[in-house]
């Protein structure tokens, strides 16, 4: 590769991971933690281009270190969804998508923050 180096940003990895996590059947939403909420409030004060829904990273935090990414995903699920199976599927699908798109090895941690009750 002619000595060229590639760096994939934390934000780019988070966007890939969030998009994939939202697509897993049984995931109802992504939930940000307090740190993300504070960053979001601060970001609302700054002028910026609008971010399309599929690129929003709320509920996902990624940290890239060399060729590896540490990813934390916080999701809500539907009542009746087997949580352990869903978490395993989110871990697998997010790791595969991040590897396919970025070439990074991903360690994915999933937290289930909410169970949506039927209306």
CA-based torsion, 47, 74, 115, 92: positive or negative: positive
Which CATH number covers residue 95?
Answer: 3.30.70.1350
- Which residues, given as ranges, of the chain have pLDDT below 70? 1-4, 33-56
Classify residue 86: in a domain, yes or no: yes
1 in a domain, yes or no?
Answer: no
106: helix, strand or coil: strand
**b/e for 59-70, b at 16 or more Cβ within 10 A?**
bbbbebeeeebe
- Is 81 contained in some domain? yes
pLDDT value of position 52: 55
Establish if 42 belongs to a structural domain.
Answer: yes
- Provide the number of structural domains found in the chain: 1
What pTM did the predictor assign? 0.80
Q: What is the pLDDT of residue 97?
A: 98
Residue 117: what pLDDT? 85
- pLDDT of amino acid 24: 96
Does residue 75 contact residue 29 with C-beta atoms inside 8 Å? yes
């Amino acid at each position: 590769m002619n000595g060229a180096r590639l760096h994939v940003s934390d934000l780019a990895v988070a966007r890939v991971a969030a998009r994939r996590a939202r697509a897993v059947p049984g995931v109802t939403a992504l939930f940000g933690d307090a740190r993300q909420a504070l960053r979001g409030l601060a970001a609302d004060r700054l002028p910026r281009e609008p971010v399309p829904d599929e690129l929003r990273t709320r509920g996902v935090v990624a940290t890239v270190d060399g060729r590896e990414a540490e990813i934390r995903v916080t999701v809500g699920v539907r009542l009746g969804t087997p949580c352990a199976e869903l978490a395993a599927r989110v871990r697998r699908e997010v790791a595969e998508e991040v590897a396919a798109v970025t070439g990074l090895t991903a360690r994915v941690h999933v937290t289930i923050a909410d169970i949506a009750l039927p209306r």
